[in-house]
Amino acid sequence: MNISQILKGQVLSTFGPAPKEVTHINYDSRKITNHGCFVCIKGDNTDGHLYIEKAVLQGAVQIIGNDQDVMIENAKRYSDVQFILVKEPKKALAIYSSYLQSHAHKQMSLIGVTGTFGKTTITAYIRNLLNGLGIKTGSIGTAGVWDHESSLSIHKSTPTTPESSDLHAYIKLMRERNISSVVMEATSIGLDQERLFGIDFDIAVHSNLHPEHLDYHGTFEQYKKAKLSLFEQANVAVVNTDDEGMSKDIISMFEGDLWTYGILHNATIQAKNLEATSEGSYFDLLIKDQQYHIFLPVLGTHNIYNFLASLCVCLAKGVTLKELYPLFLKLEGPPGRLQLISEFTNRKMIFDFSHTPSALDNLLKTIKPIPYKRLIIMITGIGIREKSLRAPIAKAVEGRADEIVVTADHPGDEDPLVIVNDVIAGFETTTENVHPVTNRGDAIKKAMGLTQEGDLILITGLCMEEFQIINGKKVPYYDYDHVKEFLDSNNPQKHLQINSVCK
């Protein structure tokens, strides 16, 4: 094994004997076993070089890092382990992970989706349409890891874009299941941290760009730069011409095949004359001077944009509109995105991932065609996200609902009561109809208990996830459990079968 050839210019020097066998690679020392390679990565909270001893004791035969003094010192202590000093450990992790997974990504058709809003829904729509055509397609993102049939029971390392070692393992797994295409969400942080380094995408998709994750990136320009890097790794670009955030940047820089979509401006694919109903959306679809009248079982202008993006991808892959048309009525989004819970008798109950002021504003506009008596909404402050968003979340819903329940999502190391109070501080007028509940599960039951026959209840926040982050740990949690508890306690005679909101 010539590690210098494998890591392609990353190696500065090596110490110790090359191992006869390396079976796995990871940046988490807890996941290293016999014949493993441990990559030391410096993060905001810790430094992987501190865990070299633990990795060696658990069976590591190779250590990769970029702290020369620490690497040399440990090489003297563990003379039977190979230590590899590299320029950039994150890139080395991505390159080596690809090698150990037989470069499975090179045998697949890969589609990357980036943007502030819409990534998860676009990913789900693409997967749904391609599988409907018989093109076996998996997906990776906020909604989990899916093969062509269902969600896989895989514990992801990050909420959306996995670390490169995990990502290549997921792709290899899909390849072994004869899946030919994989669509994945590409976050700005994932791109900036080189998790997608070395991967060539057949198609890169842009949804929109608004300020987000500035606590990480520092400036909007740096945030945009991270997103734009995806298009440097793609052969085809799909761009939303109505987005002022970065559509012009992509169009001016991109040298490959370009597909555009939009509603307000001319594009390769354009939707006009939108009509919203409680059952879905009607609109005219314009493709190369041809016009088609379309119905989709989805609500909201934002979902029309998401559909247009997914349609561009399918057409760019050579599929015809005639083949796609029968699938439109069966179009399915991801769980927790305008997801109807029909078992709440004589009421309408919807779960939606909205957790930012702009997303909540769009959600409240989207539900306008739905008839209801009163509106009850549950909103959340998020402990692991920007604190600056909490008060604006209250402003986004103030005066637009009859009852408002305020709770905390993923409190992290914070007191949930502090998070809830930060949100409530954003209300400018009376808070008589505002109900603070610190626990998310209890807040769902509180919101359900406030409803009357004919009401609409919106449960918002990170409702797709299968855990809550509390004091640095991922604690198992399912919204569905609390919905079922409420319904069972109010109708104990009836055995309810409800599709899981999060799974």
Per-residue confidence in pLDDT tens, the chain, 503 aa: 699 999 989 999 999 999 999 999 999 999 999 999 999 999 878 999 999 999 999 999 999 999 999 999 999 999 999 999 999 999 999 999 999 999 999 999 999 999 998 999 999 999 999 999 999 999 999 889 999 999 898 877 777 999 999 999 999 999 999 999 999 999 999 999 999 999 999 999 999 998 888 888 899 999 999 999 999 999 999 999 999 999 999 999 999 999 999 999 999 999 999 999 888 999 999 998 899 999 999 988 999 999 999 999 999 999 999 999 999 999 998 888 888 887 788 899 999 989 999 889 989 999 988 899 999 999 999 998 778 899 999 999 999 999 999 999 999 999 999 999 999 999 999 789 999 999 999 999 999 999 999 999 999 998 777 789 898 888 888 898 999 999 998 864 444 444 433 33
What pLDDT is stored for residue 315 in this prediction? 98
Fold for 339-490, please state it. Answer: Protein-Tyrosine Phosphatase; Chain A (3.90.190)
DSSP string, 191-203: HHTTTTTTPPEEE
Per DSSP, which regions of 127-253 are E strands?
137-141, 144-146, 181-185, 201-206, 234-240
CA distance 398 to 421: 15
What pLDDT is stored for residue 474 in this prediction? 84
Q: Which two tokens stand for residue 417?
A: 């009561």
CA distance 157 to 168: 13
CA distance 250 to 467: 36
Q: Identity (one letter) of the amino acid at 463? A: C
Fold for 3-96, please state it. Answer: 3.40.1390
Contact assessment for residue 63 and residue 96, using Cβ atoms and an 8 Å cutoff = no
* Alpha-carbon torsion angle 44, 46, 47, 53, nearest 10: -170
Rg from Cα positions in the chain: 24
User: How big is the CA angle at 452 (ends 449 and 454), to the nearest 5 degrees?
Assistant: 135
Q: Identity (one letter) of the amino acid at 61? A: V
The ranges of the chain annotated as CATH 3.40.1190.10 are 104-330
DSSP state at residue 47: B
Using alpha carbons, list the distances in angstroms from residue 412 to 214, 238, 417, 467. 19, 36, 12, 12
Contact assessment for residue 82 and residue 16, using Cβ atoms and an 8 Å cutoff = yes
287 DSSP β-pair partners: 269, 290
Q: Which two tokens stand for residue 15?
A: 């110490």
Contact assessment for residue 122 and residue 113, using Cβ atoms and an 8 Å cutoff = yes
Q: Over the range 360-373, which residues count as b (16 or more CB within 10 Å of their CB) and which as e?
A: bbbbbebbeebebe
CA distance 142 to 304: 20
Residue carrying structure tokens 């760019």 = 316
The ranges of the chain annotated as CATH 3.40.1390.10 are 3-96
Bridging pattern class, strands 269-276 and 281-287:
antiparallel
What pLDDT is stored for residue 1 in this prediction? 67
CA distance 397 to 403: 10
What pLDDT is stored for residue 337 in this prediction? 83
CATH of domain 104-330: 3.40.1190.10
What pLDDT is stored for residue 290 in this prediction? 93
What pLDDT is stored for residue 497 in this prediction? 42
- Residue 132's CB is within 10 A of a number of other CB atoms, namely 18
CA distance 435 to 378: 9
